[in-house]
Each structure stands twice: as structure tokens, then as C-alpha cells.
């Protein structure tokens, strides 16, 4: 049995369907990332799993429990990092962590955990006095201090500087090694590529793709080669030489509409060498997750039924 | 037990760290008690301190269980503190228990301080146990109202409403100004308010030859039952 099971989940706010009959699983000891543009239903889905929100329909199980009916039992097995806030402005860093640690029977050592998330030195500063990135790292520590079986992390890296993101990434990867099930939402596709075992892409409340990052990137494979070189190359001459159409998208970004065979790539680089042109980058076959994501979400916005998206006339 | 104590400790730490709440819970009652006991401007027969001391004790309850509770809970809700705690094993019953105990602890400190100050100013109380019942019922009634505000309004609106209500109830509840001095139609409303009924019951239980009218007890009990029920219906955790 998977650690998190979602079957035909539907959530409605007033007239708006926020999540529309989605099903997926998150396996124990794996990192499952939920991706999607703003308003896709990511946070809503996670809040249903955490037991904060009652779904309109669907069967949910987290660590074998029903998030609402068995909420008290679930709180001892899950850790929650909210998208923002969660601590009062006058509470000190170590104080907050010690307080939350005391709510569990078997917790991690607060000081060791602070060191792991890179917050040593801020122990006695208040939530108001630490930076936004430090607040996110404290929120992560608060989610993990109770040794959860399942950790829900809502945009853990948002607003965090690169060093902080690296610290967060290391901690999250360490959770997998400890057998913790991690479900995270994020906009950071680079993070997902490096970290996630399983990806669920949501758009307009529906799943538009799911699989491992490698599967998604291979499935998104297209018959094209992309490369970066000085702008304004003679695309016609190049196309003749390599025997495939060449198109300059953004200045200096070229797309060759042909499969990225070694022969094609060899011809391409040879032509550049003859003209003494530098090659900025070259991608053949497999796309970056970002390309896949942007293509799926762009397609989704055309097929999405309009009335479902309309929010009630608030504000 | 450990989670409850941990949360109680945090509640008390934050109350002690918050200067504004100390001003409200101790500063204002001490100032009013000292000022009106020393400067003889109140329209009262006999020693002003014997009238004032019970009123200021009721005021102390009002400031802690209504104003401070509403403001701190309102902001905790706005900052997502309540939501996060809802995902931990603390649970709502223990959260509420910790808040109740913290409120009572602050009230004990207030009553102790004000009691000693009032005695120093010449107060001559005649203590009957009804005074404790009046304080507890008043606390429950006011706390229920506090959670109605904090659980349904935005934090800044709660802040404004709680402070406005404090001033209004201070003037209308006979704590410092006798209800008999208010215009006729308002007197009935003042006596039916939780703070008015509490003041009447506390004063009746602490004054020589005093008595508490049955309608004051009835009003206290009704508020203590209705306002928590209303709070349960209105309270939203986020």
C-alpha cells in the first residue's frame, strides 16, 4: 500500500471546482513533487491530505489513515510545512522548535536540526527578526522535528537564497534515505529534476502528466535539436548543410526540426567550426523538465473548460 | 500532559514579553484604582476605595479575558499559528485548555497585585466566596466573546473592536462610574452586559452588607453558556 493514496479527489469552493477528480499515489521513502501553475490546485490537494479541508468527493488515505476521521492519529505521523507563516512574530527560533518538539512523544534534537537546516546562530532571534529565507528553513525544521512518516512541504524553497535552497534540498534528500514519504509542491523545476522520484503535474485542477522526471522528459522527447549561438546566423545555409530546417526563435536560440542523431549534431558542430562560431549550449532529444512543463501547461490552457475557472465575484 | 505544559509555557512567555498587554492588564487598572481613590471626584457615598476596588478587579478580568485573548488569538489565526498547530498532536482541546490556564494565571497575578494595592489604599473588604464564582463566570462569558471576534474577523479589525469594546464596557459596566449615574434606558442594558453583571456580583460579594441580585447571576450564567456556544459556531481556524 502506498503511503499516500488519492482516488478521484474533487474539491469545490463555492461554484469553483479547485480539484477535479484526480488520482495519484506517493510511495513510502520517495519524494513526490506536485507541480503546476498558480491556481492549479496544488495547495488545495495538499490541504486535503493534511486534513485541513474536506473534499467534495474522493477517497484519501495518508499513512493508512483518513485525514479527517483519524486526524488525531495522523498528527503524530505527519509533518506540515505551510506555504507561509505558522509562527508568531515574537517567538524565538529555538523556543519555537523546542515547543513543537515537546508536542511529540519522540522528537529530534532541536539544536541538531537547526544546524541541519543552517539556522545555527539564529537561536535567540525572533521570527520577526530573521529573514524570509530563514523563516522558511525554520518552518521546515518545525515540520520535521516530530520524526514524521509523511512530510508535506508546501513550496519549501520559495523566497530562499541559493545556499539556503541547497541546505533545504540536502535535508529533503536525507528524508528519503530515512524512509520518510515526502510530498512537496513547488515552482522550482530545477529542484524537481534533481530531487523528485515522482512528479504529478496539475493544471486547472486536473492531472496533465505524471511519472518520474526522467520519464516525463523522455516522453516529452521531440524531434528537434536546440542550440545557442551568436544571433543572426545564416539559417538557410546551415539548413542546406545539415539537411534539416533551422529556425531562430529568440535571438541566438536556434531550433533544428529533426531528430538529434549523432550525424546531425556532427554536421551542425562542423558547420559552426568552419565559420569559427562559438556554441553556447546544445540540447538534443530529451528536454528539460521546464520545456515539458511549459508545453503541457500551455496546451492545458486551451482545452480547459472556461466556466469552471471563473471565481465567484469576490473583491 | 507534556504538550499542554509546553503550550501553556509558551503562552505565558509571550504574554510576559508583550509590553502592550501588560499595560492593559496591570497598568490601566493600577492607574484607575490609584487615581480615583486619591482624587475624590466620583459621585459615591462613603469611601471611594470600597466602591472602586471590586470594580477594578472586574476590569482586570475584562482586560485579560476579553481584550488580550481576542487580540492574541486573532493575530495567531492571521499568522497561521493556529493552522500549523492544528497539524500537530497538540489538538484543539489542549490548545483551549492552555489558553484558559494562561488567562487564569494572569488573572491571579492581577487580582493579587490589585488586592494588595487596594488594601494599601485603605480598602476594607468583606469577602464572600460568590466573588470567585462571579470572576470565573465573567471570565468564561468574556472569553467566549473574545473568541467570537478573533475567530471571525481579521486581526486588525479584532484589535480595533476589542479595544473599542474595552473602553465602552469600562464606562458602561459600573466598574468606575456607578451604573445609577447613567441615563435611565442605558442602565438596563449595562446590567445585562457580562461585564456589568460581573461587576455587580463581584462588588456585592466583597462589600460589607452587600448582596448580589438574582438577575446578575442569571445574566452571568446566560453569557457563560451562550458566548462559548456562539464562538464554537463562528470560529474559523484560518
- Report the CATH number that the domain containing residue A48 is assigned in CATH: 3.40.50.300
Question: Which range among A66-80, A219-233, B88-102, B162-176 shows the weakest confidence by mean pLDDT?
Answer: A219-233
SS3 category, A182: strand
Across the strands, what pairs with B145?
A: none
Asked if B35 has any chain A CB less than 8 Å from its own CB, the reply is: no
How far from chain centre, in Å, is Cα B78? 23
The whole-number average pLDDT for the span A136-149 is 96
Convert the pLDDT of each residue in A12-65 to its tens digit. Answer: 988 889 999 999 999 999 999 999 988 899 999 999 999 999 999 999 999 999
- For the whole model, what pTM was predicted? 0.83
Residues A57, A170 share a domain: yes
Convert the pLDDT of each residue in A244-288 to its tens digit. Answer: 899 887 888 898 888 888 888 899 999 999 999 999 888 776 677
Write the ipTM: 0.85
Task: Using the predicted structure, report yes or no on whether residue A291 has a pLDDT greater than 80.
Answer: no
The answer to whether the Cβ–Cβ distance between B89 and A100 falls below 8 Å is no
Convert the pLDDT of each residue in B80-131 to its tens digit. Answer: 999 999 999 998 888 888 998 999 999 999 999 999 999 999 999 988 999 9
CATH number at residue A233: 3.30.70
In chain B, residues with a C-beta closer than 8 Å to the C-beta of A51 are 87
The answer to whether the Cβ–Cβ distance between A72 and B18 falls below 8 Å is no
Q: Is residue A113 part of a domain?
A: no
Asked if B188 has any chain A CB less than 8 Å from its own CB, the reply is: no
Task: Using the predicted structure, report yes or no on whether residue A94 has a pLDDT greater than 90.
Answer: yes
Buried b (16+ CB within 10 A) or exposed e, B35-51: ebbeeeeeebeeebbbb
Residue of chain A nearest B19, judged by CA positions: A90
DSSP string, chain B: -HHHHHHHHHHHHHHHH-HHHHIIIIIHHHHHHHHHHHS--S--SS-HHHHHHHHHHHHHHHIIIIIIHHHHHHHHHHTTHHHHHHTSTTHHHHHHHHHHHHHHHHHHHHHHHHHHHHHHTT------THHHHHHHHHHHHHHHHHHHHHHHS-HHHHHHHHHHHHHHHHHHTTSSS-GGGS-HHHHHHHHHSHHHHHHHHHHHHHSTT----HHHHHHHHHHHHHHHHHHHHH----
Q: How many domains does chain A have?
A: 2
> Which structural domain, as residue segments, surrounds residue B62?
2-234
Q: Is residue A93 part of a domain?
A: no
Task: Using the predicted structure, report yes or no on whether residue B47 has a pLDDT greater than 60.
Answer: yes
Q: Is residue A116 part of a domain?
A: no
Contact (Cβ atoms closer than 8 angstroms) between residue B182 and residue B190: yes
Distance CA A207, CA A35 (A): 10
Burial class (CB in 10 A: 0-12, 13-18, 19+), A169: middle
The answer to whether the Cβ–Cβ distance between A75 and B10 falls below 8 Å is no
> Which structural domain, as residue segments, surrounds residue A254?
222-284
In total, the C-beta contacts within 8 angstroms joining chain A to chain B are: 69
Query: Residue length, chain B?
Result: 238
Task: Using the predicted structure, report yes or no on whether residue A70 has a pLDDT greater than 60.
Answer: yes
Choose the final residue of a domain: A191, A218, A245: A218
Q: How many domains does chain B have?
A: 1
**CA A181-A182-A187 angle, 5° bins:** 160
Task: Using the predicted structure, report yes or no on whether residue A218 has a pLDDT greater than 80.
Answer: no
Q: Is residue A122 part of a domain?
A: no
Choose the final residue of a domain: A183, A203, A218: A218
Asked if B90 has any chain A CB less than 8 Å from its own CB, the reply is: yes
Choose the final residue of a domain: A183, A218, A253: A218
* Cell numbers found for residue B220: 452571568
Q: Is residue A250 part of a domain?
A: yes
Amino acid at each position: 500500500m502506498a503511503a499516500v493514496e488519492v482516488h478521484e479527489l474533487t474539491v469545490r469552493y463555492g461554484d469553483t471546482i479547485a480539484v477535479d477528480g484526480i488520482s495519484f499515489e506517493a510511495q513510502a521513502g520517495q519524494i513526490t513533487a506536485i507541480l503546476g501553475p498558480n491556481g492549479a490546485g496544488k495547495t488545495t490537494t495538499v490541504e486535503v491530505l493534511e486534513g485541513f479541508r474536506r473534499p467534495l468527493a474522493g477517497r484519501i488515505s495518508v499513512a493508512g489513515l483518513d485525514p479527517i476521521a483519524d486526524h488525531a492519529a495522523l498528527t503524530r505521523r505527519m509533518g506540515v510545512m505551510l506555504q507561509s507563516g505558522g509562527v508568531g512574530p515574537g517567538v524565538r527560533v529555538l523556543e519555537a522548535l523546542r515547543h513543537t518538539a515537546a508536542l511529540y512523544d519522540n522528537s529530534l534534537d532541536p539544536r541538531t536540526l537547526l544546524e541541519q537546516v543552517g539556522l545555527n546562530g539564529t537561536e535567540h532571534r525572533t521570527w520577526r527578526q530573521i529573514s524570509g529565507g530563514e523563516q522558511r528553513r525554520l518552518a521546515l525544521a518545525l515540520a520535521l522535528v516530530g520524526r514524521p512518516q509523511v512530510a508535506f512541504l508546501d513550496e519549501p524553497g520559495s523566497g530562499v537564497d541559493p545556499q539556503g535552497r541547497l541546505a533545504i534540498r540536502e535535508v529533503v534528500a536525507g528524508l528519503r534515505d530515512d524512509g520518510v514519504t515526502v510530498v512537496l509542491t513547488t515552482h522550482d523545476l530545477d529542484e524537481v529534476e534533481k530531487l523528485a522520484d515522482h512528479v504529478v503535474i496539475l493544471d486547472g485542477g486536473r492531472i496533465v502528466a505524471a511519472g518520474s522526471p526522467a520519464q516525463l522528459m523522455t516522453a516529452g522527447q521531440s524531434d528537434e535539436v536546440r542550440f545557442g549561438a551568436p544571433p543572426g546566423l545564416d539559417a538557410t545555409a546551415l539548413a542546406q548543410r545539415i539537411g534539416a530546417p533551422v529556425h531562430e526563435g529568440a535571438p541566438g536560440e536556434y531550433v533544428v526540426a529533426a531528430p538529434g542523431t549523432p550525424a546531425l549534431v556532427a554536421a551542425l558542430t562542423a558547420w559552426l567550426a568552419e565559420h569559427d562560431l562559438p556554441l553556447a549550449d546544445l540540447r538534443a532529444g530529451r528536454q528539460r523538465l521546464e520545456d515539458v512543463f511549459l508545453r503541457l501547461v500551455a496546451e492545458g490552457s486551451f482545452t480547459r473548460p472556461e466556466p469552471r475557472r471563473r471565481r465567484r465575484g469576490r473583491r | 500532559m507534556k504538550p499542554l505544559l509546553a503550550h501553556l509555557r509558551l503562552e505565558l512567555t509571550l504574554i510576559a514579553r508583550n509590553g502592550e498587554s501588560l499595560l492593559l492588564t496591570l497598568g490601566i487598572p493600577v492607574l484607575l484604582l490609584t487615581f480615583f481613590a486619591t482624587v475624590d471626584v466620583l459621585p459615591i457615598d462613603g469611601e471611594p476605595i470600597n466602591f472602586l476596588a471590586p470594580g477594578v478587579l472586574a476590569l482586570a478580568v475584562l482586560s485579560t479575558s476579553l481584550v488580550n485573548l481576542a487580540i492574541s488569538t486573532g493575530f495567531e489565526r492571521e499568522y497561521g499559528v493556529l493552522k500549523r498547530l492544528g497539524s500537530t498532536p497538540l489538538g484543539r482541546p489542549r490548545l483551549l485548555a492552555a489558553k484558559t490556564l494562561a488567562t487564569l494565571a494572569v488573572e491571579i497575578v492581577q487580582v493579587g497585585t490589585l488586592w494588595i494595592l487596594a488594601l494599601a489604599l485603605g480598602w476594607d473588604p468583606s469577602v464572600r466566596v460568590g466573588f470567585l464564582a462571579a470572576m470565573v463566570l465573567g471570565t468564561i462569558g468574556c472569553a467566549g466573546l473574545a473568541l467570537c471576534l478573533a475567530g471571525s474577523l481579521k486581526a486588525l479589525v479584532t484589535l480595533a473592536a476589542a479595544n473599542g469594546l474595552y473602553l465602552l464596557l469600562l464606562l458602561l459596566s459600573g466598574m468606575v462610574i456607578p451604573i445609577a449615574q447613567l441615563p435611565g434606558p442605558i442602565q438596563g442594558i449595562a446590567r445585562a452586559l457580562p461585564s456589568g453583571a460581573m461587576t455587580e456580583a463581584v462588588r456585592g460579594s466583597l462589600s460589607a452588607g452587600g448582596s448580589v441580585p438574582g438577575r446578575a447571576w442569571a445574566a452571568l450564567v446566560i453569557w457563560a453558556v451562550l458566548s462559548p456556544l456562539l464562538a464554537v459556531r463562528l470560529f474559523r481556524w484560518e
